[in-house]
Structure 1
């Protein structure tokens, strides 16, 4: 983890409480390394500012000080989105300190960051997806690793999986002839997701090559690297980027873009927001609702193109 607290020689009360909180998130809440790193980075920034202000304990930090520090970081170029995440980290941290009896109040409770528009996710349209997954240049023919990569791409788009979810898949996660997969999502929440016919075909094709890479310690991991180990998330990202580039895609392709495309296309066709929420594994439907904005953008574009009163008059 970057900025690891355990590597810091400082042993202040500020740091001890922060180390205990990160351990709580890691072992009791079982947060991902990525989430732990974000909390660590945000709260270390606050801790260093508190030390510079001669605050020796978290209980002496005030709301006024936090507001002042937020202003400093904003003037230094920290984005509104980053400030919002930092405030969220602070609130969660002080809730933990309250429960532990370390502090008597939560000075971050009423903090607000400047409002910022939530960026819409970038998606591929159906033609772009078909161009990528139909393997127009025959990249996967006779190449075990590219055959694996195509199966990975198909599964991302077929089932809308997160990167970590796909990398963690084992053979036993699949059932009914690979037509459905049981996924372990965030906070160990399980969901059952359908697998489309194209993805099933690609996986079955990959399995014929997988046997060539299996080692005694490979376990039951679905996707293996060339040395026969479970493929890492970083390898998946790099391989997808390379596959898309060699396929002549006009944009950079990454795993979450395929997940976004899956969600947008399903919602566009069905209009069933609740089902998309379940398929994606979102705990809050407000997270899924961002795809309704994408759907509206598509409808608006069709309207502008087709409606006779929406067209701009040609300049004379």
Structure 2
């Protein structure tokens, strides 16, 4: 049997090549597996059920989310060992399955979004308009109008959006491609901003002093810009972030009747269970929906009073 390190490397190579795992996922798996190997005295790959359970026993002080992540990494590793013939038994089944609740993202109301865009409109209407405000307008239009991830947004090439094409093709997590609709408003905002981006820049949102840098706007800087806009619009900054705007895009689309599967594709979720966290709606709306749409509502309406 090869050493733990060799087998872990082969497992991670498989994840990258066959499962298309992202670099951050590979790094997290490597860290968890190497720590487990150290705890198992370098015998992780040959551990029996008792050994695996003892290993998991050392996680008692960790958060449930951390235990869940470590157990998932080890289960997948042992599954790989069985699939590739290194083992005949899958001891990964002895690992705990603590289960964690996926936290609901912060909620941003329609009124909050209206206030953000009203403030942007005021700034863009200034004469002369500041290029930074045109950039902010394009950024927020794409965050809320298309549900882009922060990393996807800041990494858009300068020519990513065409005036005559109401969509773009993105490569998101795990190298998965998806089609993202782009609204007329967003395309207009991007066109107004792109005038201020030198033609020799690779990125739509360049970094550096006066766009003189070679890289693109950082996610941290995007985060700061969105927080500053929230404060300017009279909204507590801790309630607004790029991810909150992505969440608002999803929530408000669902409230408007969007199909969950279509939303899954637009957001780039591999598992629809991830998309389902956006289905939180208030109880009052659900009651109203049943009273208005359920067939029994029509029967009750036709029934004569007693």
Q: TM-score, normalised by structure 2?
A: 0.79
2:301 equivalent in structure 1? none
Equivalent runs, 1:62-211 vs 2, <5 Å: 62-74=48-60, 76=61, 78-135=62-119, 138-139=122-123, 142-175=129-162, 177-211=164-198
2: CA distance, partners of 1:83 / 1:265: 34
Deviation at 1:139, TM superposition (A): 5.0
Structure 2 alignment gaps of length 5 or more: 290-306
Match of 2:156, SS? coil
1:215-230 correspondence runs (5 A): 216=200, 218-219=201-202, 221-226=203-208, 227-228=212-213, 229-230=215-216
Report how far residue 203 of structure 1 moved.
0.9
Deviation at 1:300, TM superposition (A): 5.6
Unaligned runs of 5+ in 1: 1-11, 304-316
**Matched position secondary structure for 1:289:** helix
2:303 is matched with none
Deviation digits for residues 48-74 of structure 1, max 9, x if unmatched?
A: 2112xxxx3333212333333323312
Q: Which residue of the partner structure matches residue 248 of structure 1?
A: 234
Equivalent residue of 1:108, what SS?
helix
Pair 1:14-2:1 in alignment: no
User: Structure 1 stretch 112-121 or stretch 131-140: which is displaced more?
Assistant: 131-140
Count how many residue pairs are aligned between Structure 1 and Structure 2: 280
TM-score scaled to structure 1, two decimals? 0.77
Q: 1:233-286 CA distances to partner (integer Å, 9 max, x unpaired)? A: 333233333333343321422222111111110001115222212222223322
- Structure 1 residue 192, shift from structure 2 partner: 1.6
In structure 2, distance between residues paired with 1:210 and 1:298: 47
Instruction: Provide the secondary structure at the position in 1 that maps to 2:86.
Output: coil
| Per-residue deviation, 1:14 | 2.1
Query: Distance in 2 between the 1:172 and 1:93 partners?
Result: 41
Q: Is the 8 A contact 1:174 1:182 kept in 2?
A: no
On the 8 A contact 1:123/1:258 being kept in 2, the answer is no
Residue 174 of structure 2 aligns to a residue in which SS? helix
Residues 240 and 26 of structure 1: CA distance in aligned 2, closer, same or farther (over 3 Å): farther
